[in-house]
Amino acid sequence: MPTLLIINAHIITATDDYTADIFVEGDKIKLIGAGLAMPADRVIDARGSYVIPGGIDCHTHMDLNVGAATSSDDFETGTIAAAHGGTTTIIDFPTQARGKKMRAALDEWMQKAQGKAAIDYAFHMIISDLPDDWLPDMDALVREGITSFKLFTAYPDRLMLDDATIFKAMTRAGENGGFICMHAENGSIIDYLVQKMIAAGKTTPNYHPLSRPHEVEEEAVHRVIALAEMARVPVYIVHVSSHRAMEQIRAARERGLPVYGETCPQYLFLAYEDYADGAWEGARYVCSPPIRERANQTHLWYALAADDLQVVSTDHCPFCMKEGYRGLPKQKELGKENFAKIPNGVPGVENRLHLLYQGGVVERGWSMQRFAQLTSTAPAKLFGLYPRKGTIAVGSDADIVVWDPKRKFTIRAAEHFMRVDYNPYEAMTIDGSPAYVIARGRVIFEGDKFVGKAGAGEFLRRGRYSLV
Ligand code: URP
Ligand code: ZN
Ligand code: ZN
């Protein structure tokens, strides 16, 4: 079995901060101790760097068809990009088509990922159709390691479920040990507002956020928390964008409910003011829930520091601004005449750790432990991957990032690994970046050079959710 020794490692986990050597044998961390004198195939001297658990991005959409367009990263380009930024596991979303079984979506996503993913991957199942006699399919998925389900209160044409169906799915998850993720925006109100705006000739990208005000997110979050409480199931609100929605989560947690929330870099760093003028370039920011006004960001940063939100994921769902980039068809341009036709989503999987390190650790003085908790440990625990993933410990997978605080990095679309022709964080400079990224014992990035293998990533059967 190949061996790797990391010496002088300043090890950071969600709870630890100490210096030691790490001996890796095959996929696993075998030993951690001071002055390990083990012969190894490769030795990395990590002096001066933090050694942190590989990032877990629990919300990505690789190769996702959203109707007229397909997200521009597939499992190969998207996972290589993820690894470049220090993410060694993703959780993606097989999406059930109405009238078809969830199993068909799972088979399709296995096909998309197998032989392509460069890092490990797991799945949440998106449910769009749930007649009573399909309920046992949820139990089967939980047994096979798909232990969470995403439900939608938005997108009436493809994904939205009525409250009774949401309640039914939640109740079943409560019985079979599954965990519920919610996309919470009031889809019926949004569709009404969109139609009114288009009819009034308000077609430019800046109307996208105006058709999805804070209240539609706040209302849906409030409602799904109430449904989850009735169903006695833990619930995780994905991509929280509005401080008013976040406050619903905080209030529920104060009442002792098992309610969790994630936010994403786009809601922490991007602002409505940057595309309020109606210019076409604003299409690059079109995602749902939408990017809010700048003042909203502060509330989300406080919520992450105070544990009112527990995870930062990306909701990585890239679409190109211009037709033809690396041979890709028209994507964002599909909505040139009508903002409602702009494919929703932004890229981010490559820069999540960069951005949170800069915004959290460098600029707000967060501990490295909090950084590890938000980017790796909390998603590992919530989604049943801990302690195999999400920490640096004997017996855990050797998913390790050697994070060099002296290695400055500037985000540039021209150099990024994501297959998309823009980066929303263009020209931002980060005061640190990964010097090495190690996935299950294999060095897959050395600085900016990919030395891994597409297809080396494995499907992860996840266990049950645990509290964070
Ligand atoms: O705009 C977004 N978020 N696109 C991805 C699909 C989803 O709703 O998460
Ligand atoms: Zn969503
Ligand atoms: Zn999403």
- Pocket-testing residue among 70, 125, 315, 331, ligand 1, by greatest number of atoms within 8 A of Cβ: 315
Ligand 1 in reach of 314 Cβ (< 6 A): no
- Pocket-testing residue among 239, 270, 286, 331, ligand 1, by greatest number of atoms within 8 A of Cβ: 239
Q: Which residues surround ligand 3, an ion (CB under 5 A)?
A: 315
* Cβ–Cβ under 8 Å, residues 291 and 270: yes
Predicted pLDDT at 235: 98
Q: Homologous superfamily of 55-363 in CATH?
A: Metal-dependent hydrolases (3.20.20.140)
Helices (H), 58-177: 75-84, 102-113, 135-143, 163-176
User: How many CB atoms are located within 10 Å of the residue 199 CB?
Assistant: 8
Ligand 1 in reach of 84 Cβ (< 6 A): no
Alpha carbon of 189 to ligand 2 centroid (Å) = 16
Angle at 209 between CA 206 and CA 212, to 5 degrees: 145
Alpha carbon of 468 to ligand 2 centroid (Å) = 22
Ligand 1 in reach of 61 Cβ (< 6 A): yes
CB-count burial class (<10 Å; 0-12, 13-18, 19+) for 302:
middle
- Amino acid, single-letter form, for residue 260: Y
- The CA distance from 290 to 242, in Å, is 9
Residue nearest to atom 9 of ligand 1 (CA): 315
148-152 vs 179-183, strand pairing mode? parallel
Residue nearest to atom 5 of ligand 1 (CA): 345
Helices (H), 255-398: 265-269, 294-305, 352-356, 363-364, 368-372, 378-382
Alpha carbon of 182 to ligand 3 centroid (Å) = 10
Predicted pLDDT at 468: 74
DSSP state of 426: T
- Amino acid, single-letter form, for residue 79: T
17-25 vs 3-12, strand pairing mode? antiparallel
Predicted pLDDT at 350: 99
* Cβ–Cβ under 8 Å, residues 168 and 133: no
The three-class DSSP label of residue 1 is coil
- The CA distance from 404 to 79, in Å, is 21
Alpha carbon of 431 to ligand 2 centroid (Å) = 31
- Pocket-testing residue among 262, 266, 287, ligand 1, by greatest number of atoms within 8 A of Cβ: 287
Record the tokens describing residue 18, joined without a space.
């100490």
Record the tokens describing residue 204, joined without a space.
């430019």
Q: Which ligand is nearest to the CA of 212?
A: 1
106's CB contacts (< 8 A; 6+ apart) are 94, 123, 125, 141, 146
Ligand 1 in reach of 150 Cβ (< 6 A): no
CATH architecture of residue range(s) 3-53+398-450: Roll (2.30)
- The CA distance from 355 to 428, in Å, is 9
Predicted pLDDT at 467: 78
* Cβ–Cβ under 8 Å, residues 34 and 21: yes
User: How many CB atoms are located within 10 Å of the residue 448 CB?
Assistant: 13
Measured CA to CA in angstroms, residue 8 lies from 19, 44, 141, 367, 463 at distances of 6, 9, 42, 20, 33
Ligand 1 in reach of 376 Cβ (< 6 A): no
For tokens 């297959």, name the residue: 419
Q: Which ligand is nearest to the CA of 289?
A: 1
226 φ, ψ to 5°? -65, -40
- The CA distance from 171 to 70, in Å, is 32
Ligand 1 in reach of 287 Cβ (< 6 A): yes
User: For residue 329, is the peptide bond before it cis, meaning its omega torsion is within 30 degrees of 0?
Assistant: no
Residue nearest to atom 3 of ligand 1 (CA): 288
Predicted pLDDT at 240: 98
- The CA distance from 381 to 463, in Å, is 9
The three-class DSSP label of residue 386 is coil
Query: Going residue by residue through the chain (468 aa), what tens digit of pLDDT does each one get?
Result: 999 999 999 999 999 999 999 999 999 999 999 999 899 999 999 999 999 999 999 999 999 999 999 999 999 999 999 999 999 999 999 999 999 999 999 999 999 999 999 999 999 999 999 999 999 999 999 999 999 999 999 999 999 999 999 999 999 999 999 999 999 999 999 999 999 999 999 999 999 999 999 999 999 999 999 999 999 999 999 999 999 999 999 999 999 999 999 999 999 999 999 999 999 999 999 999 999 999 999 999 999 999 999 999 999 999 999 999 999 999 999 999 999 999 999 999 999 999 999 999 999 999 999 999 999 999 999 999 999 999 999 999 999 999 999 999 999 999 999 999 999 999 999 999 999 999 999 999 999 999 999 999 999 999 999 877
Ligand 1 in reach of 344 Cβ (< 6 A): yes
User: For residue 387, is the peptide bond before it cis, meaning its omega torsion is within 30 degrees of 0?
Assistant: yes
- Domain residue ranges of the chain, discontinuous segments joined by +: 3-53+398-450, 55-363
CB-count burial class (<10 Å; 0-12, 13-18, 19+) for 434:
buried
